[in-house]
Structure 1
């Protein structure tokens, strides 16, 4: 096998490989002999088909099969010989394939980039500092009660948090527009589902009333054709419903998987859950900032093959989220390109930090992470046993712990500032996706 490598860019390589004709011919002959022993053809007994017939019938397809196998095998050998680390599978371009001649082909592929980590000492990372206050617990319990509320029809004037059952028709310059008309629409007042001013105009009205209001679509409205346009709505109020909040009792508590006899005990459990969410939100926010710091301080070429693989994963995930009723390839690749590129660059940067600093997944921290996950389940001991008996599941936890180690390393290099936040602010900061 003869090998030569041409560097066509920082990460692309063209590797030309030559394989002697004798190697091809011997492999083809051996495969044809195997075929002759097993093939069934009319007019011949099994195993008695003449080699000339076998070659005439199967020679071309067998040769193509053998050439494909030899190209793959020799490509793998050449990688080891040349000490190359490919980023994905190559594209093969045969140069000579004629029978009786040496095989020569080019493997075109990308290698993993050489990454020189940038200076992180000037990077500033903001870490939220927040606590779960009594008022936050009150708000959370109110939200939980609202989720379980039943509705009761009332004759009074409507107010925020009521549901108004309405018909509405919107017109612009006297003409109706798409999406501007509905019947028996259930609108929660104060939810800001409609454009500014719509819900406020209904508050204070009663069932049976008809309203006519003039509003203006916001300049940042999602429909380009309606941005900034004046609109007139005719509204008929059919019914007003008032939420009936459930009592705070053991039956209500059980709906959220909490065994508690009174409100005080329920509040303790709600606070624990909120503190877990807060901790995760802070962790997410800091990790996003760490990723941003690594990306902004380090420049390198990203293998397109890895980005394409990640795009396909994102497309498959998107299809599954929407019920899996279509081929993921129908989704445009461009929609996912930016996110996929960020993910690939992040993965390569994290790998480089791990390698350069010889970071490992600490066994104690792996166990702590498993215990933390298990604590959110009703039978934590079963969850722990599941992780400990499943190498694949445990490996995922080890990867998470290793990512945490990278984050801690970067935090140790960067300038970390703390920012006081309210609970909701910190939760929202941790939910921001980049």
Structure 2
């Protein structure tokens, strides 16, 4: 029996519960009998301890358990009957004296908020478009070529030539050097190495170091000053000026494969260059679609946050913080970070992110219900088939999705978001913005 439901704040509520002691008798007796079957005591066989002794030892514990179980059961029963939309689990507190009848509990809980969907015609979003042409395909192929780069000694004949008559180190060359650095004439830790190898122009070394190495040939040396940045990771030398001497031991020039059928074959494309370019185009267009969809989604979500009003349940934020902490811990463990399982990760660092995620989740849920934006089976099927089309055996991938309800739920979420994006975009103002592929890749 619920005596009353009190409003303690915007979303906080308190329900007072009364439980007649007689309603617990059957459950109490059953639980004591279960305890007695496994109870061990000197002088008695297992399960043969007299019920009076079981009562003396475990009676209060069993009372506590059955009272809380009954209070929880009654709370959810009454919440359903009253149509209360719970935001999380209740906190139950016993309020009656030992032996009192009826037994009184107070249940503290939060309810889901009312979501006020604003005027979505005021939503203003940008929709990015990017055309993929030969230039974008060529740049993508250059990246693939660089991934297969290999090096030859300058001036030494090979199947790919000798690198030209200029034997000096050039940008893009791979060089091997010995170096030693001194501060006030004294060598310092980490300032010396033999046979050190790096590629000029990759930015791995400090700019002064690379500039000094440019133009040197095998066997040549150079001494130069180098001032370490004030924020340099090596605290002992940060902000100080060292004198380095480098000696070049080897200069290798880079050779990248030609864009031909052999190169296509090395990428697993057996039909030649034209097919390779076609597949690169498809991949780039797929990436464009992924990025432009993500950008539009972010803008729509920002507009929904701006135009909708609601109070966010603290319990849901706390649960989301815990989930984000666990995700961060799993990420650390997967990356092999020592003691990641026990690493202290404060939930406060995820407070803002958790609040935003919960807020958006409530807005989306309400909007989907109001406008019937549910994901249809046909939409889910189309999304799965599109994702599967990028694999060698699409039918097997489709089967994999449909074999697990959790995977289907993930796809359903993607479709729901797409439905919301389409709905909000259709009501608001869309500004189309054409950007290059490079510009698109830099947008967040």
TM-score range, shorter chain: 0.7 to 0.9
1:139-159 per-residue CA deviation (whole Å, 9 max, x = no partner) reads 111111111222334473223
Q: Counterpart of 1:158?
A: 169
Q: Counterpart of 2:283?
A: 273
Q: Counterpart of 1:342?
A: 356
Q: Counterpart of 2:222?
A: 210
1:184 to partner: Cα distance: 5.6
Question: 187-196 vs 274-283, which deviates more?
Answer: 187-196
Which has more radius of gyration?
Answer: 2
What are the within-5 Å matches in structure 2 for residues 17-166 of structure 1? 17-37=17-37, 39-45=39-45, 48-96=48-96, 98-154=98-154, 156-165=167-176
Q: 1:97 to 1:266 in 2, by over 3 A?
A: farther
What SS does the aligned partner of 2:30 have?
helix
Q: 1:423 to 1:177 in 2, by over 3 A?
A: farther
What SS does the aligned partner of 2:120 have?
coil
Q: Counterpart of 2:159?
A: none
1:381 to partner: Cα distance: 1.6
1:128 to partner: Cα distance: 1.0
Q: Counterpart of 1:245?
A: 256
Provide the TM-score with structure 1 as the length reference: 0.86
**Are 1:370 and 1:397, in contact at CA under 8 Å, matched by a contact in 2?**
yes
Q: 1:387 to 1:71 in 2, by over 3 A?
A: same
Is there any run of 5+ residues in structure 1 with no aligned partner, and where?
none
Is there any run of 5+ residues in structure 2 with no aligned partner, and where?
156-166
Question: 185-194 vs 142-151, which deviates more?
Answer: 185-194
Question: 208-217 vs 2-11, which deviates more?
Answer: 208-217
1:263 to partner: Cα distance: 1.6
What are the within-5 Å matches in structure 2 for residues 349-388 of structure 1? 349-388=363-402
Q: 1:178 to 1:322 in 2, by over 3 A?
A: farther
What is the Cα-based RMSD across aligned positions, in Å?
Answer: 3.3
**Are 1:25 and 1:100, in contact at CA under 8 Å, matched by a contact in 2?**
no
Q: Distance in 2 between matches of 1:19 and 1:210?
A: 90
What SS does the aligned partner of 2:121 have?
coil
Question: 208-217 vs 95-104, which deviates more?
Answer: 208-217
Question: 286-295 vs 87-96, which deviates more?
Answer: 87-96
**Are 1:190 and 1:200, in contact at CA under 8 Å, matched by a contact in 2?**
no
Equivalent pairs, count: 427
Provide the TM-score with structure 2 as the length reference: 0.84
**Are 1:125 and 1:286, in contact at CA under 8 Å, matched by a contact in 2?**
yes
